[in-house]
Amino acid sequence: MSTITENTISELSRNEKVELLQWLVKDLGDSFLGIESNPNVCGGSACIVRTRIPVRVLENARRNGVTESELLHDYPTLTAQDLANAWSYVRSHREEIEREITENEED
């Protein structure tokens, strides 16, 4: 893989830069800052980075009336930004989160 440098990018035309940016957005389209899915962690459920806390657990707690303040107290490794990232992920992956909550309630 070739290395892209600042000089390489500065040599691109405005249209080429737009095309590059569009390609990057498309390539990273399913990525969420602060959220990761790893098949070897929590069965592949989306989790907060640096933790094993699934997004579905946080969303389910929120639905059951647990406040953000309580979540931050109960999970001291979480930050307010982690919760913001989780809620963004939930909005974009509603069906996935619904399914995981339902499956875990059945267990």
C-alpha 1/C-alpha 57 separation (Å) is 39
pLDDT at 49: 93
- Asked whether residue 1 carries a pLDDT value surpassing 60, the answer given is no
- Enter the pTM of the model: 0.71
Model confidence pLDDT, tens digit, residues 66-97: 999 999 999 999 999 999 999 999 998 999 99
Pick the CATH number of 35-106 from 1.10.238.10, 1.10.10.10, 2.60.40.10, 3.30.70.1230: 1.10.10.10
Q: Domain map of the chain by residue range?
A: 1-30, 35-106
Model confidence pLDDT, tens digit, residues 24-70: 766 655 567 899 988 999 999 999 999 999 999 999 999 999 999 99
C-alpha 105/C-alpha 107 separation (Å) is 6
* Other Cβ atoms within 10 Å of 55 Cβ, number: 28
DSSP letter string, 36-81:
EE-TTSGGG-EEETTS--BHHHHHHHHHTT--HHHHHHHSTT--HH
* Other Cβ atoms within 10 Å of 36 Cβ, number: 14
